Structures are given as structure tokens and as C-alpha cells.
Amino acid sequence: MKKILILGDANSYHILKWVSGIVTKGYTVKIFSLTPYSGNLFTDKGIDIYSSSFGGKRKFLYPFAMRELWKLIKEFKPDIIHAHYASSYGLLGALSRFHPFILSVWGSDVFDFPKISPLNKWIFKFNLRKADKICSTSHIMKEEIKQYTEKDIEIIPFGVDLNVFKPLSVHHIFKESDIVVGTVKALEKKYGIEYLIDAFSILRQSLKEYSVKLLIVGKGSLETKLKAKVKNLGLEDETVFTGFIQPAEIPLYQNMLTISVFPSIDNSESFGVAAVEAMACEKPVIVSDVGGLPEVVENNVTGLIVPPANAEKMAEAIEILIRDEQLRIKLGRQGRQRVEKLYNWEGNLNSMIQIYEELMAKRQI
């Protein structure tokens, strides 16, 4: 049985996706997590999780988790170590001295971490140097990584399961006749949700002939602040905050939206998997011109691209789609076709499995 040791946050939805997919390909998987595991996402998948006793503590203590990792490597005897996130987990993988070692870069670990200090830059370059294979989710992130290494970089997106993310008939929070604008993202500053609220406030004044609602799906540190903003703008009757939802519920909420908006303001939005999920559900999307979002969305073909941190331009784009139902339908269908071509999860997963197989074959030579 081929064994993969994943170094990554066991509470991450993306780790759940990768690990669950790898298991379906016949691999045995263990996860080494610095964050204490707090859920039950893996209980029915036969996946063991080792939560480090240093998890949740200050990051400078993370290297002390190496003794635990070395012990796990000795007991589990993996064929490959695959670290997800190039700073903390990447450092553990690099220090393990185990090969083959794959390093997947996610976003802020390349856009932000190396720029914090010369030491951070050295650590990042060290981790890349020790990796046998480096993976990125987008072309823009690949270009950023190339500033720190001359190694080849494989692009493997966070694709979506087209059997899960698809047009569905769902029970709506609002009336079926309402036009629902919204987003499915963590309520954090870099995702720019305050600008979506401002754009909605503008629309409420200019589109009084339409019944338009705002749906904000997710939780985060800005939840209280964003709710206060909605209240101050007098939008409470037209707005719903769902709070935390289970990963299995995401396709249902994506299908409740008429128009999906992703107003990120930070380049660390390196790929935009939520936008891909919306496109797979045949929703027209509006995204900010930052990070990997313009790479995912083809402007005026699968959605609309607007300047970041600009509520007025965002409101204009939303208004275009509200007033033109046929355009919404057209962009939604073409978005689904783009996902089928480029971001089919099964194809992305097979690309990673191919990398595993190639590295293991080299190891045996």
C-alpha cells in the first residue's frame, strides 16, 4: 500500500478535499497537523490525524514539533511527504530531510511571508530548495514563486467536483422571485466584503423596481463589524448572514445566489476556488482584478472583472447583470464550460497522483 504523509492544517476544507481525493485513488494517508483537530471531517474516511502538542502555540515553537514528526515518519514509513503551505508546514517538511518531499504553495505563504523579514525570505527559499517538487494553484503565484527559485513549478489548481458543484434546485432563504447577490467567503479583511455591502447600498437606491437581496455566507473575524455596517446602512431587512456552514452545504448556498461576487482586495487571493465553485453552478461571477481571480474568470465571457476596493464600479457591474437576465444565463453557462475544461477536480487530482507516481518511481531506481 502506497503511503502519503500530509503536513497541513487538518481543519482546512482544502486539506479535506485533497486527502479525501487521494484516498479514493488507493493511497493510505496520515495528516500531521500543527493545529489541534476540532472536527469530524475525516472520521468516516479512514484517515489518521496526528495533532502536534505544539499546535496552537507561538509559531517560533513549531520547529520543536520536529521530534514528533520524525517519530511519525519512523512509524508510518511514508512513500512521500507532501507539505501544504510553504512557510510553517514547508519548514517542517524541509527539516525532516525526507525525500521525496512535495511542497504546495497556497498564497499568502509566497505573497506575504517572504517579505516580512530577511529571515522569512531565507526560510522560504530554504524550503523551496529542499523540495523535490513545487506545486502552485495558479500562474500568477507561479510567477511569484520564481523570484525565489529556479526549479520547475507545477500548476495544479484547487478544482471542483462537477458532480457536487452544479446547478441545483434548492430551498431558498429568500423568495424565488428575488434577485440574490452575495458571496461565499470567510469574513476577513482581504476578501473585501465591506465593498460588496457598499455596492449593495448603492444598488438599493438605483434599482427600486427590483427585489434585490444580499446573502453573505461564511464566518470570520469581521462578522460583527460587517453586521454593524449593514445595520447602519439600513439594509438589515434585505440582508442575511448565514455564519458558519458545513462544507457539504456550500453547493446549496452557491445555488441560492443569482449573482456571485468576490470583491477581494489582496493579491494573496491566489486562485479563487469559491469563484470556480460558483461558475460550476452556472452562476455569473463578478471578481476583483487581484491575485489569481482574473486568471480564473474570463472577462465578459464567464463573468465581469472590476477594480478592487471600488464599490461604485462593483455596483455598476452588478446592475448590468441584474437588468440583463439573458446575459446572466449566458455567462453562467460559459462559466460552467470553462470549469469543465480547466478546473475539473478529477483531472486536477489525477495530475497530483501522476506526480506522486513519478517521484516514487524515481525513488525506487
Q: What is the DSSP letter of 250?
A: H
Q: Above pLDDT 70, what percent of the chain?
A: 95
Which pLDDT does position 65 carry in this prediction? 87
Which pLDDT does position 56 carry in this prediction? 57
- Provide the whole-model pTM: 0.85
Which pLDDT does position 52 carry in this prediction? 84
Mean pLDDT of 178-200: 96
Mean pLDDT of 135-151: 94
Q: Output the average pLDDT for the chain.
A: 92
Mean pLDDT of 110-123: 94
Per residue in 254-269, pLDDT (tens digit) is 999 999 999 999 877 7
Identify the three-state secondary structure at position 41. coil
Between vectors from CA 45 to CA 277 and to CA 76, what angle results, nearest 5°? Answer: 115
Between vectors from CA 347 to CA 344 and to CA 348, what angle results, nearest 5°? Answer: 85
Domains of the chain are 3-159+345-364 (3.40.50.2000), 179-342 (3.40.50.2000)
- In angstroms, the first-to-last Cα distance of the chain is 18
| Burial class of 343 by CB neighbour count within 10 A (0 to 12, 13 to 18, 19+) | buried
β-sheet bridge partners, residue 260: 182, 285
Which pLDDT does position 365 carry in this prediction? 57
Q: Going by C-beta distance under 8 Å and a sequence separation of 6 or more, which residues neighbour residue 344?
A: 159, 160, 162
